[in-house]
Structure 1
Amino acid sequence: MRAAKWEAGAGPRAGGPAGGRRGARGLPWLVLALWIGVLAVAVPLAGRLGDVQRDSVVDYLPASADSTQVAKVQQELPGGESTDLVVVYHRDGGLTAADRRTAAGQTADLARTFRLTGGAAAPEGVPSKDGTTLMYPVSSTQPGEDSDAKTTFVDGVRDIATGGHGLTVKVGGPGGLDADASEVYSSLGGPLLYTTVLVVAVLLILIYRSPALWLVPLFAAGAADVLSMAVTYLLNRAFGITVSGQSSGVMTILVFGVGTDYALLLVARYREELRGTARPYDAMRTALRRCAPAITASAGTVAAGMLCLLAADLNSSHGMGPAAAVGVASALAAMVTLLPALLVLLGRRVFWPLVPEPGSEPRPPRRGGFDAIGRLVGRRPVAVLMSGVVLLGALALGVLHLPGSLKQQDSFATKPDSIAAAQLLGAAYPDRSGQPITVVSHTGAASAAERTARGTVGVVTVRPGRTGGGWSEFFVTAAGPPQSAAETATIRRLRAELHGSYVGGPSAQQIDLRSTNSRDREIVVPITLAAIVLILILLLRSLVAPLLLAAAVIAVWGSALGVGGLVFGPVLGFHGTDPGLGLLSFVFLVALGVDYGIFLMHRMREEALNGAPPRQATLSALRTTGGVITSAGIVLAATFSVLVNMPLVQLAELGFVIAVGVLLDTFVVRTFLVTSASMLLGRRLWAPGALGRARPPAAGEDGGNGPDDTAAVGRSGGDGVEREAPATR
């Protein structure tokens, strides 16, 4: 709700004091009632978000990719899309005759229990050269396109294909990998939400030092999360946006992270206003009037940055944009409507034991950490700026140590059955891939395509598949383990030689993911930068300040990725880097980094408009926003760090890079680099706007370069509450 709405019915202009009191009593109750109605509708819809969540590899692919076309064609073949599995029997010392009888009996049971592709006959096993392993390809169209049915089919195969007494049996293949990924993603919701809530609750308790106050923003953030899930579900049903476990998890993190940030800013200002205002309603009205523009601008900038992901061709990234934007918008709505209403209704007692009474004074001003930083930056701005640039540049060199592209078998923090099967196959069949390359051709050209495939370098075997709807499929086995350089070269040769055919399968999907992510970076990164800079120009009425902030967040992004390069392999034990990490971390860090830059620059501009010289305006903005923005940065970094403990490497890497980037932005870039650069630029920071034009110093003013600047600025009390100079009140 806008600040103007809180003014309605308040004060003499609304019909005298009596009218003001009635308005003050009625409006917060009305807002609360509206939110109760909204949540009554949103809760059932939010509960259905999991029903439309899709986490198979195809759901992350671009619509134009070869592998995506293969999946679409397979849906048109008799029986629809197939679920392809590989059942692996293995004994370290070599399979015994009893092991082979067990394998034959179990695969026969599979053929009797399920409608397997190829008829009622049991699948034929492929022995390894060393005699330790038997591989049985198993495929069925019985589950259809329903992800739950597919998971049930995979679980049924695993129930029948069992080992024991030294015989290892694993079920893998593309279908097994999809089932394991879906299970992991479906299990994320609860732990992710609970861990996030716990982290935010602990931090709010430490920040507020109140047994009750921390519950209010946490409740508002929870309401925003429910609203965001409901709206995302409706967007999926109306427009078909892709909803994945990754996007829904990141949306929850964003809601609690940025929502808590906005709450910290609003509550800090509200507490300050309570010390000079008799009625909580009036204090909230003033706090909203002063905070809402910066919060709204910040949320709008973050949402705009997220929406730039709509330009991505990758389905998962394309769908994450609207989901993240909805999360930010929901957080904004809750923090400027529901949170103020709850705080006004609860009154001053919610701050107990540190209740801000009218006429009371905050703790005596003292020179805290931001005073010391201000003095350091004020004395040596050039040295501070250069030191920060060198530090970020050194950290960015860690990008050279990022591990290569993440393979499917390395994408889980734990090792599910499908990954164990892939590792067994890789060791037992070093001269051939354990997972097929799927090719679909027009039926009239299928025979020629099969002959061409058999003659392609790197192809070991070719076996036919289904025919229908004008299409035929066949399966190619390549030399070399899955996702190796040899198999990748074979896939590229097949695509080059099989004109009019589509080449897909798990390894081809990974190739498409990498190439599409590379294409998306080239398109989305400049669009995001241009959108953010344009918005900042409109908000700050300047060209130089937006460019400074843009350069700062780009430096943060590079440094955060560099820290990841130093930590992923040696410390966290990750064996690859997710292809989408660069793009997603860039969009999030640029949007969120600019978020804090807006808070700092907004206060700096406010001080300059009130007549403060450039250096004084810069130091005042640092002091008055330092505590609360630092608290906000810690909260946001902590919420994203929750992803590091998730069982998927791509989520862990994304959470780590964003958390590190937010901390670098909070403690290095915003505090030292932006402040020192602003001091050196002086009024030129606001060029070519009116604030950027030079003017002669007023009486008693030294133009902002005198030694007494640091003493002339209001100080922060060190508790995260803004302290204003009298001229701003």
Structure 2
Amino acid sequence: MSHWQRAAAAAGTRLGKWPALAAWVLLAFVGVTLGGRLDSVTTDEQTAWLPGDAESTRAVALAETAFPDDGGEPLIVVYARPGGITETDTAAVASDLTALSTLAAPGSDVPPPIPSDDGEALMLVVPVPPEAIAEDAVDVTLAAAKEAVAAGLPAGLDAKLTGPVAGEADFGAAFDALDGALMAVTAGVVAILLLITYRSPLLLLLPLGSVALASQLSNAIVYLLAKTTGMVVNPQNSGILTVLVFGVGTDYALLLISRYREELRRHPDAYSAMRVALPRSLPAILASAGTVVLAMLVLVFADLNSTASLGPVAAIGVACGMLAMVTLLPALLVLCGRRVFWPLVPAYDPAHQGGAAPSRLWSGVARFVGSRPRTVWITTALGLAALTIGVTSLSGGLGSGDVFTTKPDSVRGQELLAVHYPAGASQPVEIYVPAGQATAASAAVEGTPGVADMLEAETSADGSWVRLSALLADDPGGTAAENVVLRIRSNVHGVAPDSLVGGTTASNLDIDETMDHDLALVIPLVLLVVGLVLVVLLRAVVAPLLLLASVVLSFGSALGGTGLLLKALGHNKIDGTMVLMGFLFLVALGVDYTIFLMSRAREEAAVHGHRDGMLRALTTTGGVITSAGIVLAATFCVLAVMPVVFMLQIGVVVAVGVLLDTLVVRSLLVPALSLDVGRATWWPGRLARGDRAPATPVRELSRTG
């Protein structure tokens, strides 16, 4: 045991546990005090996600300078009656106009109702001031608007609130309603799985409490970073942080507790057992956490701010989870002693000198893999490759109506608006043109296919800029609308090179283009970083190449399986963010289990030879790694309770990928492939030059530990 391992294991000693517990009391105070403030620094504004040189971002900056008093954000009310609007309906809408005028920005008037061409709808556009739609005021504003619209609404007249204000409020409400619920559901899932794994009602409280404190501490650190550095944190990142800390923290707890329980059978007291268990668990835990942290930090090279910020956010979460499991949890375990495992308390047995008794299940798996390794890995690889065909079930074009798993009022309002007006009427494309080129630019916009109508042009106070507003025929959140914006930019820049095209659809387009760039940059970097970590850990080159190939195949099959599931759920429209996040989490988290397997295989191979070492590693690590994988998959499944499609998709792809990686890739593909390649797996390390011990027949593995 090295000096650093002894020092790191101090939290599990008689004297070391007290400083560790005292330190965590202070950290808990910080976490509880500041962790709850994370929501105050989160933002879901798309322009905050984009780099400063994106065209839509520059358009926003220009608007704030040239059009500072533009009347605020539009709150849109759509009224519709099949068969045509009646006089009674018109009078009711006029009454609503008067009532809603009290919500309008000072100095701004609510324009008269806009009738639809089919005569079946009316639309009110209320310019709401920024202070009325701030986080602490938007609910009051929308409640007042809904009350005004509902009062005196004629029977048979449908009325819905939509537009940017209502849409952003629904998006924020989806996360606000689940702030506490997400942690509660995640903790509940972890508690149930720990209870099933250890069947001890007392034991589950220690890792659960430790990971909960780690979660609060990570929230506090992220809050301080966002507050002091301006780091962008969106609600999705905040939700992923909670699930990630619970998932990886519980994984590390399972690894430690499994080893500690075994050592309790070999040692008379908890301190002696922990003195062995913690140092021997540390290398695997630190290697796992280090790999995940480094992979996450690669995201800082992304151009999309929301993606770049997820890197440090996730890295902080993993680091806090690891820190709690190697300091706080050991101190709590030795403080409680072996009775924490009640009613299945591991008894001290001086004659127990070997490792854990081999599992019949995993001994059987080892015999199966060892009997025909080439057949096993080829069959497994073909099966995973076949599953990748499910990727064809996925499609792009995630529109504004596809963002939620249910349909809030803003989405229903957008659908109602699209029936009677141009679908883009709620979110016009804004084109800022130098005044001298406005006429030519206006003609270029009007002549662009996909532009349904143009609103009246506005001139800046100094007369140097003109703002043109174009209504699109397509859903402003869809791919078709983004293609129209591309054409608008091409046409306008041809006659007015200094013009800027902005608006919600333009922001979506810039996000998609930036995401495509990030995908091409981040994915190779993540593979490179993980590959280098594997080379260092395994002291080989061939093994890391085999593992990286298995990771890529595993991700493809996970994406295919996810496509089939999402299509069945009706949420198979995705964007680049889902692909990048899914790849990152699956590579960083999934490779952990292979690291645990191959690290153990390397240790065993040094004593028993390559073949026996691999099969022994598979037998001894199978149970705990499978349990850890199931826990991690289950925690990410919790994201499915969130009413946001992106979070559901991330939860499904990570859960499917982790289960495939745990049950198929790590259990069958990697061991079988390593056996088929032989000791060259460890090239150029010393293990590649020859086995250290004669091979044991596969049938004998079930009787060795």
1:4 corresponds in structure 2 to 6
- Which residue of the partner structure matches residue 28 of structure 2? 39
Distance change in 2, residues 1:452/1:38 (3 Å): same
Give the helix-richer structure, 1 or 2. 2
> Contact 1:251–1:324 (CA<8 Å) still a contact in 2?
yes
Give the deviation of 1:8 after TM superposition. Answer: 6.0
Find the counterpart in structure 2 of residue 357 from structure 1.
347
Identify the residue that residue 610 of structure 2 maps to in structure 1.
614
Q: Is the 8 A contact 2:104 2:110 kept in 1?
A: no
Query: In the TM superposition, what is the alpha-carbon distance from 1:276 to its structure 2 partner?
Result: 1.2
Residue in 1 that maps onto 2:392:
400
- Kindly state the Cα deviation for residue 506 of structure 1 after the two structures are TM-superposed: 2.2
The 5-angstrom pairing of residues 689-728 of structure 1 reads 689-694=685-690, 701=694, 704=695, 708-712=697-701, 725=705
Deviation at 1:242, TM superposition (A): 1.2
Q: For 2:70 and 2:228, how far apart are their aligned partners in 1? A: 25
1:539 to 531, 537, 540: 537
2:455 pairs, out of 438, 452, 462, with 462
| Residue from 583, 586, 603 that aligns with 1:586 | 583
CA displacement at 1:42 relative to structure 2: 2.2
Identity, % of aligned positions: 43
Secondary structure in structure 1 of the residue aligned to 2:617:
helix
State which of 466, 476, 482 in structure 2 corresponds to 1:482: 476
Shift of 1:310: 1.3
> In the TM superposition, what are the counterparts of 1:428-507 in structure 2 within 5 Å?
428-429=420-421, 433-442=425-434, 445-446=437-438, 449-459=441-451, 460-465=453-458, 467=460, 472-483=466-477, 487-498=481-492, 499-507=497-505
Residue in structure 2 matched with residue 295 of structure 1 by the alignment = 285
Note if 1:426 corresponds to 2:401. no
Indicate if the aligned counterparts of 2:133 and 2:165 stay in contact, CA closer than 8 A.
no
Q: 1:688 aligns with which of 681, 684, 691?
A: 684
Q: CA deviation at 1:432?
A: 6.3
Q: Is 2:194 the counterpart of 1:169?
A: no
- TM (norm. structure 1) is 0.90
Q: Does 1:574 find its partner at 2:571? A: yes
Q: Give the CA deviation at 1:292.
A: 0.3
Once the two structures are superposed, the pairs formed by residues 186-585 of structure 1 within 5 Å of their partners are 186-359=176-349, 365=357, 368-429=360-421, 433-442=425-434, 445-446=437-438, 449-459=441-451, 460-465=453-458, 467=460, 472-483=466-477, 487-498=481-492, 499-569=497-567, 571-574=568-571, 576-585=573-582
How far apart are the structure 2 equivalents of 1:487 and 1:106? 31
Q: C-alpha distance in 1, partners of 2:303/2:8?
A: 43
Bigger CA drift: 479-488 or 41-50? Answer: 479-488
**Aligned-partner Cα distance in 2 for 1:270–1:495:** 63
Matched, 1:25 2:14: yes
Deviations 1:185-232 (A, max 9, x none): 222221211110000000000000112011110011001001100010
Q: Please list the CA deviations of residues 136-189 of structure 1 after superposition, one character each: whole Å capped at 9, or x if unmatched.
A: 233233428844345544443333233452222111112221111111122222
1:440 & 1:257 partners in 2: Cα distance? 47
Partner residue, 1:604: 601
Q: Structure 1: which 5+ runs fail to align?
A: 10-22, 716-724
Query: CA-to-partner distance for each residue in 1:352-378, whole Å, 9 max, x for gaps?
Result: 122123216599946611111111111
Equivalent residue of 1:580, what SS?
Answer: helix
Label 1:91 to 1:2 Cα distance change in 2 as closer, same or farther (>3 A): farther
Q: Which residue identity lines up with residue 522 of structure 1 in the other structure?
A: A
- How far apart, in 1, do the equivalents of 2:486 and 2:560 lie? 31
- Whichever residue aligns with residue 146 of structure 2, its letter is R
Q: Distance in 2 between matches of 1:209 and 1:401?
A: 40
3-state SS of 1:94 partner:
coil
Greater alpha carbon shift after TM alignment, 198-207 vs 56-65: 56-65
Q: 1:186 to 1:102 in 2, by over 3 A?
A: same
Deviations 1:274-313 (A, max 9, x none): 1111231221121111110110010010111111111222
1:85 corresponding residue in structure 2: 75
Separation in 2, partners of 1:595, 1:478:
48
Residue 306 to residue 165, structure 1, CA distance change in 2 (3 Å): same
Q: Which amino acid aligns with 1:57?
A: Q
Counterpart check, 1:657 vs 2:646: no
- RMSD over aligned CA atoms reads 2.5
Alignment-mate amino acid for residue 14 of structure 2: R
Residues in 2 aligned to 1:151 and 1:80: alpha-carbon distance in whole angstroms: 22
SS in 2 for 1:85: strand
Q: CA deviation at 1:245?
A: 1.1
Number of aligned residue pairs: give it. Answer: 692
Q: Scaled by the length of structure 2, what TM-score is found?
A: 0.93
Compared with structure 1, are the counterparts of its residues 663 and 428 closer, same or farther at alpha carbon in structure 2 (3 Å cutoff)? same
- 2:377/2:673 contact within 8 Å kept: yes
Closer, same or farther: CA 302–142 of 1 in aligned 2, 3 Å: closer
Q: Which residue of 1 aligns with 2:129?
A: 141
Q: Which amino acid aligns with 2:592?
A: D
Change (3 A) 1:144 1:531: farther
Deviation of the 1:483 alpha carbon = 4.5
Q: Is contact 2:417-2:423 (8 Å) kept?
A: no
Contact map agreement 1:71 1:81 (CA 8 A) in 2: no
